[in-house]
Amino acid sequence: MNSRERKDARYLRRKRLRELKTIERSNKYGNIEEIFCFHKVMYYADKCCNGVRYKKSTQNFQLHMFTNIANTCRNIKNGTYVVGKTYKFKINERGKIRNIDAPHITDRLVHKVISNEILLPIYTPHMIYDNGASTKGKGFGFAIKRVKSKLKKWNRKYGLNGYVVLIDFSKFFENCSHDVIHSIHKRYIYNDRLIKIIEDYLFIGKGIALGVEIAQKEACIIPNRLDHFLQSKGYMIERYMDDTFFICGDYDEAVKVLNDYYLICDSLHIKVNKKKTKIVPIRKYFKYCKWKYNINENGNVILIPCKDTIYRQRRKIRRMIKLCIAYINQGDSFKYIEYLRKI
């Protein structure tokens, strides 16, 4: 056996070991009988009520909580569950019109159980460490800290010679392919019955719906192949949902990597927003996740929040102050406290 054959044999052993671990995780976290048991669902039923206890539907759910949980567990196990309709509405977020599909609290309970007890432990080992969205202990602050640390690490090795590549997806949730998601489920979940339950709650219309908790976990795993592609090249990468950042040493190399990146995006049916996708010299200011970054010659990273965020928070604080003064003048401070709890 020559060196090439030994190398291929080692690769096949590692590949087989990874497959066995995937099957083991699927069997452990994909057991419907163990996951949809009363005490586990009861824990997430109380979580669903946090922040919305003032709503009539939530109060009705709490009034008959034990019965609702028992019915949900029985229907899921028997395969007689019926996915409820969602409340469709639009919001204007910084000038962008977004279509929201808000599920009823009984469906939201199933979403929370599936997300935290099934998808999160199955998907997390396959994702890179720097994928910080919708993961406990990480989040938006984690992504900002990681970008800052990567800039410092690059500066210690190469100084200010390099380029930052910023990639943004176009209408990510709306363009998510059902076929791609189904292939991911088949790869990581070895339970057809469980896959059907997840997809019945997930596939509401075109793409995946904003407002559904399961969709957040699926949105993290869909570009996973892209993350591993960049990491296998040895680049310093950070991704937060549909925003990706990595550092490259040469401009021509960055252009070549982007072209290969676009080909993988096409195979995953992901549309890249080429207007927002940029290659910026590392010595200049660049914007990522609503923050501006710059690194100086001493290796210090400067972070500046975007002006739009500052102005929006100022307007919000001014409105809150006006409401506070109005309620205090009317002698109804309790009503203002209830308003603060709602927002």
Region of poorest pLDDT, from 26-30, 85-89, 312-316, 331-335: 331-335
- Structural contact between residues 283 and 295, judged by C-beta atoms closer than 8 angstroms: yes
Mean pLDDT within 45-61: 87
Distance CA 39, CA 171 (A): 38
Which residues in 120-229 belong to E strands, given as ranges?
A: 163-168
Percent of the chain with pLDDT over 70: 95
From the list 287, 241, 219, 224, the residue with the least C-alpha distance to 139 is 241
As a whole number, mean pLDDT of residues 150-170 equals 90
Q: What is the reported pLDDT for 159? A: 87
pLDDT grade, residue 334 (50/70/90)? low
Which pLDDT belongs to residue 289?
Answer: 85
Across 79-88, 89-98, 166-175, 246-255, least confident range: 89-98
Contact 300/190 with Cβ under 8 angstroms?
no
Mean pLDDT of 128-144: 86
Give the pLDDT confidence score for residue 1 in this predicted structure. Answer: 73
- Six-digit token string for 15: 């590949």
Mean pLDDT for the stretch of residues 118-147: 88
Residues contacting residue 152 through CB under 8 Å, at least 6 positions apart? 295, 299, 301
17-30 burial, b if ≥16 CB within 10 A, otherwise e? eeeeebeebbeebb
pLDDT of 335:
57
Question: Of 114, 96, 112, 115, which Cα lies nearest the Cα of 104?
Answer: 112
**Residues written for the chain:** 343
Query: Kind and range of the H or E element at 319?
Result: helix 307-329
* Nearest of 56, 45, 220, 252 to residue 139 by alpha carbon: 220
Interatomic CA distance for residues 256 and 258, integer angstroms: 5
Which of the four pLDDT bands, split at 50, 70 and 90, describes residue 123? very high
Residue 341 has pLDDT above 60, yes or no: no
Per the prediction, the chain carries an average pLDDT of 87
Q: Return the pLDDT at 336.
A: 55
Q: Which of 308, 254, 261 lies closest to 279 in space, CA to CA? A: 254
For the ranges 1-5, 64-68, 77-81, 227-231, which has the lowest average pLDDT? 1-5
pLDDT, tens only, 189-240: 998 999 999 998 888 878 888 878 898 889 889 999 999 999 988 899 999 8
What is the arithmetic mean of pLDDT over 135-161?
Answer: 88
Phi then psi for 92, rounded to 5 degrees?
-105, 105
- Give the whole-angstrom CA distance, residue 84 versus residue 106: 8
Please give the sequence-ordered ranges of beta strands (E in DSSP) within 169-290, or none if there are none. Answer: 236-240, 243-248, 278-281, 286-288
Higher-confidence position of 171 and 122: 122
pLDDT of residue 184: 93
Tokens read off for 143:
């992504």
pLDDT at 56 (0 to 100): 86
pLDDT of residue 17: 92
pLDDT band at 183 (very low <50, low <70, confident <90, very high): very high
pLDDT greater than 60 at residue 337 = no
